[in-house]
Structure 1
Amino acid sequence: MLIEFSVSNFRSFRDKQTFSMVAAPRLKKRGNVFKPDVKGEKLPDLLKVAAIYGPNASGKSNLIKALNIVRKIVYREPSSQFNPFPVAPFRFDPELADQPSCIELHFIFAGLRYQFELGLTEQRIVHERLLMFPQGKETLLYERRHLSTGDHYTFGEQLEGGDDLHKLWQKATSPQVLFLAQAAANSSEKLKQLTPPLTWLQSGFLVIDGKGLENLKHYSQQQVEKFPAFSEGLAAFLQEVDVPIANIRTDKISISSASLELIDTKNIKSKTLLTHWTELGEAEFNFEEESEGTKNLIGFWSAWDFHALAKRISPSVGALIVDELDTSLHPEIVVSLVEKHINAASPAQLIFTTHNTHLMDSKLLRRDQFWLTERDANGATQLRSIHDFAGRESEDLEKRYYEGRYRSLPFIRRG
């Protein structure tokens, strides 16, 4: 589970800004929080849901991008070809031009709390550190820093493997690969200390942005073709959000016999067909004929279904992070999705950016579940929770937001 996430010197983020899923004490709606399962350590409750608001170009998507970078980096393998990291420093401060973008994650996995720090430029990883907290005691596993003389490592006294293996891992780690990932790849046996945090960084959270949603639309159509149960679940999901689809199936695209000799029949594509029902009867539509909202829901279902499966398999897995959850979706559908997540039996987390202030008026979320981004006079993103502002728990959040009490509104020049 995600506890906190910090980012600095990345795109619109200048100074360190921290997004937290730690629940504020003494607020109502206790069903919106859960107690983290950590061995020998008592931690505050964590939030199931957090919504991030702010004007266009205020940094919401940059926060999601920073998280997604971590997921991409943990899968990198040594390569002879240079592949720049998708990072960029804060451009309005010349002193930061040559400094690394920094990302820090605090999370819980398999009953242990971890802290992972990463600093990187386009060219290489310049800082990497991993801490664990058995029984709440801070324990360094390793630290890697790139200096003018090369990479320097500090290994914790309790780090598994021994000196010879540590040197092997160190030697095998290239500038664009995490030491954590390389150590796991160069070990014949599963590492007890390093494998769990690596597993969480690889699969403990799923990020959906614009490009990711397009990929999920294709993935959902593939799953419909392969698994009838997936098709049935998707149809039921769409019906629950008032999209009247009775059945979803695939059909091979017909190709003339004259063309069969010219193509590889193994790669013949399929089309996805959706059966809509009305009081007049049923009609079948091609996926491409559907509205953008329906297409987005079909793509989102893949992540939602995976998220639900992860929650059933392990309560430690399953943070779903979505950029612009409300894209082409009616506000009531967004409220319904959030409500379903909160009422799920297993603890899990949903984090999303949105412009849909209907959630503020739904009485569904608490003050500490609303986060705001805005740019300051220097063009840098500032990140804060509505709970940081003075106010009553029962106040009209949507009204106060539009009154500018929490700031984070676009300044529109008229006339």
Structure 2
Amino acid sequence: MLIRFGVENYGSIRDYQEISFVASRLKDGDGGLIERSLPGLSGLSYLRCLAVYGPNAAGKSTLLGAIRNLRELILGSYGKGPSAPLPHAPFALDRDSPKRPTRYLVEFVARGVRYRYELSHTAYAITGEDLRAYPKGKEQLWFRRGPRGVQGSTHVSVPKAALQLLNDNVPLLSFLANYQNLRSHDAIAPVHEWFRDGLVYLNRGPSGSNDFPFSGEIIDGNRGSDFARSFIREMVRSADLGISDVSVERREIGEDDRVAIARSASIPVDMVPDTMKSVVFGHRGPRGDMATFDMGRESDGTNRIFDLSGFVAVALEGGATMVVDELDASLHPTLLSALIRSFQDPDSNPNDAQLLFSAHNTRPLSDDLLRRDQVWLVDKRDGSTEVVPLTDYGPRKGEALEQGYLAGRYSAVPVVPRRFAPAREGK
């Protein structure tokens, strides 16, 4: 479970910005709440969903992309050469920010324990790293990394001999999680697993017909569970797309085709598989006749729903936090609301999965889907992204949030130039 996430000096974000899944004291009912007692945080409830709204280019994708970037730093840095660059994209509209590190802070729950992890980095080095745990409410410093090196603890010992193998561009968390012979490996494992399995990130838009999608791997049986396969098929059918089934087909690739593929991809021929997999959708005609179409012949909406279904299934089954940029891309508003409702409803979400998404479609603001504290607004001031909760504007209970948002009552809407407006008669 994600409690809060913050980032500083990343893309359009200059100053530290933070979003929080901690519920407010608003009397908006229990819908969308996770009731979980955590040591040291008594009396708090947590949110199942957070929606991020704002105009184009305000920084919504930047905010969610920062979560993805942190996840990739943790999961993908280990094994790189010591001179490999880190994905550093600091704020560029002043003189000082490009020289400063990017900083992330994330607080979450893994295997029932609350953790707080902080990471700072430049293009070529980790400049700061800090991991703390709260198993009984009292803070435990597990390790700290800074200008003076690495400071371990009685909870996570870091042998000096092992530190000689730690590159400047690798997070210590990644290093310890991948060194199974170290005593600290077992202690670190839940934290690393949360980044790997407890945090699911999905880019906006359909994956397209050229990539074999994650949902296809689940249908094929290579990943996921029977629940996930059943969920995907049910979600696709219930979307009223005229689809009766979805499956994976294989076809052999001839030698000439393999050579052509290898040449176009600049890879050895032996790396090209002998067979090619494709996802196909079965459509039943009015007389019961069946026809199958691959993803390239389906609409963006169909592909988007199929793409989403696998990630949603995995998140709901595992109680993970799913992050989706532009959740509403190619989705009908009714389907958008239904997807959000699947996370909000404890009956369909018994494992307390969470959904963090950005959108432009304001239908969820009018469907009584979201509490007032589940909406966050992103806007720019002096070229820098600012993130604030809707509750800062003091909306009343029962207020028409969609109307208020579109009217600019809460800011975070685009200012449309006069030349975009239609000319009036006689002008």
2:380 equivalent to 1:375: yes
Read off the aligned partner of 2:342 and give its amino acid letter: K
Q: Check 1:145–1:245 CA distance in 2 against 1; reply closer, same or farther (3 A cut).
A: same
CA distance in 1, matches of 2:258, 2:198: 44
Q: Displacement of 1:284 after TM fit?
A: 2.4
Residue 290 (1) aligns with residue 298 (2): yes
**1:43 to 1:169, Cα distance in 2 relative to 1, 3 A:** farther
| CA distance in structure 2 between the aligned counterparts of 1:277 and 1:203, rounded to whole angstroms | 37
Which residue number in structure 2 is paired with residue 32 of structure 1?
32
CA gap of 1:236–1:373, structure 2 versus 1, over 3 A, is same
Partner of 1:305: 313
CA deviation vs aligned residue, 1:321-360 (integer Å, no higher than 9, x gap): 0011111111110000011121222211001010010111
What code does the residue aligned with 2:340 have?
Answer: V
Q: Is the 8 A contact 1:41 1:135 kept in 2?
A: no
Per-residue deviation, residues 116-141 of structure 1 (Å, max 9, x unmatched): 11111111111101111232212211
Partner in structure 1 of residue 401 of structure 2: 397
The aligned counterpart of 2:155 is 159
| Residue pair 1:272, 1:286 contacting (<8 A) in 2 also | yes
Alignment-derived partner of residue 209 in structure 1: 203
Aligned to 1:131: 132
Residue-pair matches, total: 400
Q: State the alpha-carbon separation in 2 of the partners of residues 42 and 168 from structure 1.
A: 41
What's the offset of the Cα at 1:144?
Answer: 0.6
Query: Which residue number corresponds to residue 214 of structure 2?
Result: 219
Aligned to 1:48: 48
User: How big is the shift at 1:257?
Assistant: 9.9
Distance apart, 1:261 and its partner CA: 11
Question: Is the 1:400–1:406 contact (alpha carbons within 8 Å) kept by the matching residues of 2?
Answer: yes
Q: Matches of residues 298-337 of structure 1 in structure 2 within 5 Å?
A: 298-311=306-319, 318-337=320-339
Cα distance in 2 for residues equivalent to 1:274 and 1:11 = 39
Instruction: Calculate the TM-score normalised by the size of structure 2.
Output: 0.86
Residue 358 (str. 1) matches residue 363 (str. 2): yes
User: For the residues of structure 2 that align with 1:7 and 1:117, how far apart are their CA atoms?
Assistant: 10
2:422 — aligned with what?
A: none
Larger deviation: 386-395 or 205-214? Answer: 205-214
C-alpha change, 1:211 and 1:24, in structure 2 (3 Å) is same
Q: Is the 8 A contact 1:232 1:247 kept in 2?
A: no
Indicate if the aligned counterparts of 1:118 and 1:129 stay in contact, CA closer than 8 A. yes
Question: d(CA) in 2 for partners of 1:89 and 1:334?
Answer: 33
**Per the alignment, in what secondary structure is the counterpart of residue 247 of structure 1?**
strand
Which residue among 386, 389, 392 is the counterpart of 2:390?
386
Which amino acid letter does the alignment assign opposite residue 130 of structure 2? R
User: Is 2:175 the partner of 1:177?
Assistant: no
Residues 355 and 186 of structure 1: is their aligned pair in 2 closer, same or farther, counting only changes over 3 Å? same
Listed one character per residue, the Cα deviations across residues 291-318 of structure 1 (whole Å, up to 9, x for unaligned) are 001011111122112112213xxxxxx0
Give the Cα–Cα distance (whole angstroms) in 2 for the partners of residues 404 and 221 of structure 1: 42
2:199 is matched by which residue type in structure 1?
A: F
Tell me which of 256, 259, 275 is aligned to 1:268: 275
Q: 1:40 to 1:60 in 2, by over 3 A?
A: closer
Q: CA deviation at 1:187?
A: 4.1
Q: Is the 8 A contact 2:120 2:128 kept in 1?
A: yes
Cα gap change, 1:267 to 1:392, in 2 (>3 Å): same
Give 1:200's match in structure 2, choosing from 191, 194, 213.
194
Residue 203 of structure 1 deviates from its aligned partner by 2.3
1:279 equivalent in alignment to 2:275: no
Q: 2:265 maps to what in 1?
A: none
Is the contact between residue 22 and residue 47 of structure 2 (CA under 8 Å) also seen in structure 1?
A: yes
TM-score, normalized by length of structure 1?
Answer: 0.88
Distance 1:110 1:121 in 2: 31
Q: Look up the SS of the partner of 1:94 in the other structure.
A: coil
Q: Deviations over 1:362-394 (max 9, x none)?
A: 011111111110001x20001011111122110
Residues 1:167 and 1:407: Cα distance change in structure 2 (over 3 Å):
same
Residue 283 of structure 1, CA deviation: 3.0
Percent identity of paired positions between Structure 1 and Structure 2 = 28
Pairing of 1:247-266 with structure 2 (within 5 A): 247-253=245-251, 266=273
Partner Cα separation in structure 1 for residue 404 and residue 340 of structure 2:
22
SS class of match (2:167): coil
* CA distance in 2 between partners of 1:11 and 1:276 (Å): 44
Contact 1:217 1:296 in 2 (8 A): no
Residue 266 (structure 2) aligns with = none
Match for residue 314 of structure 1?
A: none
